[in-house]
Structure 1
């Protein structure tokens, strides 16, 4: 199981919380869940005696720093058995291919984007298609049905379908305990209605309806500790560093409401064009 970071992993202040690649030291989130990402992108390690689960990887340029964070916790890379994703954009999972090679882990993906992961290329289903950078193709990808429960030993990680920002958008929810005090953790996907210049969330067959449903679904989740892919969306590092409260039972609902309001604004803007 992970231990406290070693002296080889000193605390490192971030120059920019928006820098996807800038390294920072690992932090315990709660129980045996750890933040092992960069200053700007969240990567989460869920440790269990039966093997570990990694959610996201940060970009490929940051993959080595993420691996070093994991190693500094006393974790062998080979003990990571499963890699999960929030969504198929290179800033969050561009390093998955090299992480998979280093760990031998299988990648679990929503069935609707298995082909994207295997080719390393997004397609026009993605709102940001014209602006996206590709990523290294991923092998050993296994599709799962929406709302599945991913099990690792006694730990159960519940999938929350969150399409909208991307087709394969996924939230993840699980329980962690410290000295018999248990909290519900949720790693929520982005609810940003962001796109290239040609995409319309109001168009037929767009992800507009799915994004609205994602906000509604997240708002209903039992949620004590919110984790977001871009930490600035939830002041995550400040909360992990004790500068702001870590636990907030309304965090997911508030995050969902903000996403829904942004979508409403976006749809109104499209209507006025």
Structure 2
């Protein structure tokens, strides 16, 4: 259903709007989790787009007169921090009508269930990403799947599946879906416009483009799964070619979000960079090239070549 519009208002889930802090038993422990989850003050990116995430994990709020859109939920233990940041900006959690996800790993989707319960929002994702949110953990087709170290997050029972190219609507807000598989099979990039003093810019929330995996997984294909290298290259090219005045990544460090926020003034906004998506994609392409070369060498060595 490319270029269609799904009106979120009127189909919001009938869930409690009470505050919903993450339960202690839901917290994820990982090597980087404590650093990722350090609280940070929210800040404006451009117009009606704000950063409301943590020190190491992005969450983006796009505000509108008939409700707001939240992109990503970070870790399960990040949910209270994200809600606090939203409220610190003067917005109400119950006015979040739509929650979107870049990819369904524990560090970007872990807080979504709690944030949905706190807001009553509709959650939307690609079909593959939606299933992972319902399951609470990635399947064997995920490059980072490790049966010896599975991470579980609170399940999201109701998730709206959206098509590539579909446009979601909350009042006048329009957010478009772009499938970007690679880092995960269900990876999704989201685009919209934000306006400020009559200046409307194309905003991109780019899914992770990093080609990382557990040991033994090959993007060039394995015994029980196909070669994914061409698909990943297509994703990188897709992001490079998006209309893109401002790009924000699922990890703020990938696009220097905090350095840009510190340098932002009323006269100059360093977030504005029409080459931002191309730069992000170019760096990802180089990393993928190196990764694929290493895979070919490993396979040749294993084959005695």
Q: TM-score, normalised by structure 2?
A: 0.81
- Match of residue 205, structure 1, among 221, 226, 230: 226
- Structure 1 residue 113, shift from structure 2 partner: 2.8
How many matched pairs?
A: 258
On the 8 A contact 1:122/1:129 being kept in 2, the answer is yes
Q: Distance in 1 between matches of 2:293 and 2:57?
A: 30
Q: Distance in 2 between matches of 1:165 and 1:188?
A: 12
Q: Distance in 2 between matches of 1:160 and 1:45?
A: 18
The answer to whether 1:149 aligns with 2:174 is no
Structure 2 unmatched runs, 5+:
1-31, 299-305
Larger Rg, first or second structure (1 or 2): 2
The answer to whether 1:230 aligns with 2:251 is yes
- Structure 1 residue 153, shift from structure 2 partner: 1.6
Tell me the residue number matched to 2:5. none
- Root mean square deviation, CA, Å: 1.7
- Structure 1 residue 114, shift from structure 2 partner: 2.2
1:200-250, CA deviations, whole angstroms, 9 ceiling, x for partnerless residues? Answer: 100052432221111010111111111011111111111122168221110
Q: Distance in 2 between matches of 1:146 and 1:19?
A: 34
Q: TM-score, normalised by structure 1?
A: 0.90
Q: Distance in 2 between matches of 1:160 and 1:181?
A: 24
- Structure 1 residue 17, shift from structure 2 partner: 11
On the 8 A contact 2:163/2:177 being kept in 1, the answer is no
Q: Distance in 1 between matches of 2:250 and 2:131?
A: 22
Greater RCO structure (CA 8 Å; 6+ sep): 2
Greater shift, 204-213 or 43-52, is seen at 204-213
- Match of residue 177, structure 1, among 178, 195, 201: 195
Tell me the residue number matched to 2:283. 258
- Structure 1 residue 137, shift from structure 2 partner: 0.6
On the 8 A contact 1:17/1:231 being kept in 2, the answer is no
> Helix, strand or coil for the counterpart of 2:35?
coil
On the 8 A contact 2:145/2:214 being kept in 1, the answer is yes
On the 8 A contact 1:167/1:207 being kept in 2, the answer is no
Q: Distance in 1 between matches of 2:216 and 2:271?
A: 39
- Structure 1 residue 156, shift from structure 2 partner: 1.3
Q: Distance in 2 between matches of 1:144 and 1:222?
A: 20
Greater shift, 123-132 or 77-86, is seen at 123-132
- Structure 1 residue 105, shift from structure 2 partner: 0.8
Structure 1 unmatched runs, 5+:
1-15
On the 8 A contact 2:144/2:212 being kept in 1, the answer is yes
Q: Distance in 1 between matches of 2:220 and 2:198?
A: 47
- Structure 1 residue 185, shift from structure 2 partner: 0.9
